[in-house]
Chain A
């Protein structure tokens, strides 16, 4: 009996050893192939998980593989929020894709400081110069780490039919006209504006815009670069917002309203003709289409106007708030990654991106190909802007940005002051 047990143990040990050897030899073989440098596999995560975007990106990957024998691109199409969560986790575990989407600002800075993102400055100087000022949001200390393929701005999306019903013939261009429009809509029995304060950032965009209008570009830079908010324009921004909130422009229950995703969300209310307008980015028509039964969103009733000018403000009335998405290579990605990013930002790829109305292309050569009229309008406003300020929460990074957004939502709830917002940003910055 004992002998049998001993024999069994030996047999088991031998089996384990065999399996272990088999595994290790397998691994060795793989390493060998990689080491020869003939075949390279690039992993790529993007957030266009339905047509036509998904097909567009698959075609691009196929074309690049065709032009570069030996390169294989493993494409993973994820839903936007899922991609962000997965990216965060991937960076923490070190098992991240070679090509991924960067949103710039503080987020990029954190990635650069952790040595996760490749410096593209000397690799792709021609593409960087072709993109012009669009790359500024993806630079850290004058080095460029990602190339934006889409850059949009925030403005008011509105329902043309409702505006007409309330007797508003031209969209507001000043805050006084905006107040008058709110009043006219209320009188016509229409809820004027929806805002997803439950998600934080949609409410915060108002404060960003009032800051952009109240503060000169220098004061804006002082605040966003060095957290110096001593210029009184920052308090005036909060006061402007306070007086706008006091006109009660927002949808019922706006504090608990989410940004997008359901018919009860801020975008859903606009799409389903429950409110007349919403402050949102270039993504809004696409989001609204997903929230109506016919898949049309507001259809022909879709209108857009830029954030109005503020009386006495020191900021440029035509400066815009916005942000975008850029392609970046992981620091340890194979060299082919840089070539692929160059390909993604080529004239041809950007032209096709524009033709599909997937966003607002960044290469000036592609601008003419945006088909949807309201997107073309947004693009024109963006291109004429003296500067496009990156969303302040993205610029500040997740922690300070999050504290700021919470303080702003608190003002929407009547529990915070203009000074309180500035204090919250500085307190969070002091803890960085």
Chain B
């Protein structure tokens, strides 16, 4: 299970499959049979053929990756050391000035804080909710499929559509306040997106509604890998449902939870659409994120050099956090997997 979730495992499987179904000119000699066949001229020519095939199939993807990922990142790095309003030639070299200006800017500092807060809160809020709902939905009951669909719908909805609907509902005279009035909770009506003390929490609530479905679906998939007989054994030993979940299911869900945490963290750092639609980073920068800040500085204030520096900072922060997470958290799962295999070998 854990092996399937890591990208490395997935890729290896796919490459092997692609090579295997590709018959060579000399018959049906596949990579597998070549590897185990006798070494010689034919083998080495096949080796070359294999490499060419790989190059042939990888080239388009590599080209697109270079064109749409590598080139823009390099360009952004280049722009970031110039003062540039988007017009005319790049001739005002300012070195690291844009970086120091960005890091000293109180609004950008606030954006970083907001992003980290959203990342931490997403995990702290969505994990318990997601876990609880996944555990409940994993039990067999009538309407189980319907419930799963309902829970997953917000995640499938386009971010822009969901954002616009929520924005309308969160207006001072919108549906949310009207609903609170109707059920006698008039005292709790708020300026949901118009009050700088409340707006970030509102955004957080909408994000939870939107993304908890993903956590649930991933966790439900993870739950399929938890063997039923362990539960039966626990039941026979007299464990309650909750004890069984706590001692057996949740620990076995570890790799899934950690993968979801990784996705959630990266998503939170790059958060843009929902905030842009709900608040545009306002009111008074209360909900500004690194991405909304960089778009505003670029498109509204025409500071393309400066916003490129911000983009690079965002890239570095995401990259560092992703690497740390990969090294200290996700690799542990890969490690566990290897240990398990080794144990199996020893047992044989």
Contact = CB atoms under 8 A, between A and B. Distances in A.
A115 interface: yes
B101 A398 contact: no
A91 interface: yes
B285 interface: yes
A25 to B, nearest CB: 29
A254 interface: yes
Nearest to A428: B301
B280 interface: yes
A91 B195 contact: no
Chain B interface, >50% SS class: loop
Interface in B92-119: 101, 107
Interface in A367-420: 397-399, 402-403, 406, 409-410, 412-413, 415
Interface stretch (A66-74, A106-114, A208-216, A338-346): A106-114
B194 A257 contact: yes
A255 B285 contact: no
Contacts of A410: 284-285
A398 B282 contact: no
A405 to B, nearest CB: 10
Interface stretch (B26-34, B80-88, B221-229, B315-323): B80-88
B192 to A, nearest CB: 8
A92 interface: yes
B279 interface: yes
Given A253-B172, A399-B303, A406 B285 contact: yes
Given A398-B301, A399-B303, A111 B280 contact: no
B106 to A, nearest CB: 11
B87 A253 contact: no
Interface in B134-171: 168, 171
A41 to B, nearest CB: 24
How extensive is the interface on chain B, given as a class?
A: 20 to 34
A399 B284 contact: no
A403 B296 CA distance: 11
Contacts of A114: 85, 87-88
B23 to A, nearest CB: 15
Interface in B251-301: 279-280, 282-285, 296, 299-301
Contact of B280 (A113, A198, A254, A415): A198
Nearest to B296: A402
Interface string A31-57: 000000000000000000000000000
Contacts of B299: 85, 88
Contacts of A397: 302
A252 interface: yes
B86 A91 contact: yes
Q: Which of A115, A412, A413 neighbours the largest number of chain B CB atoms within 10 Å of its CB?
A: A413
B302 A256 contact: no
Contacts of A398: 85, 300-302
Nearest to B97: A431
A399 B279 contact: no
B193 interface: yes
B309 interface: no
B330 interface: no
B56 to A, nearest CB: 15
A116 B107 CA distance: 33
Contact of B284 (A85, A113, A413): A413
Contacts of B302: 88, 110, 397-399
24 contacts: A88-B299, A110-B85, A110-B302, A114-B87, A252-B191, A252-B194, A253-B171, A253-B195, A255-B284, A256-B191, A256-B194, A256-B199, A264-B168, A264-B173, A264-B174, A399-B301, A399-B302, A399-B303, A402-B301, A403-B301, A412-B284, A413-B283, A413-B284, A431-B101
Given A114-B85, A255-B282, A399-B302, 17 more contacts: A88-B86, A110-B85, A113-B87, A114-B88, A198-B279, A252-B194, A253-B171, A253-B191, A255-B283, A256-B279, A264-B174, A398-B301, A398-B302, A399-B85, A403-B301, A406-B285, A412-B284
Listed from nearest, the 5 A-B pairs whose CB atoms lie closest are A253-B194, A256-B194, A255-B283, A114-B88, A114-B87
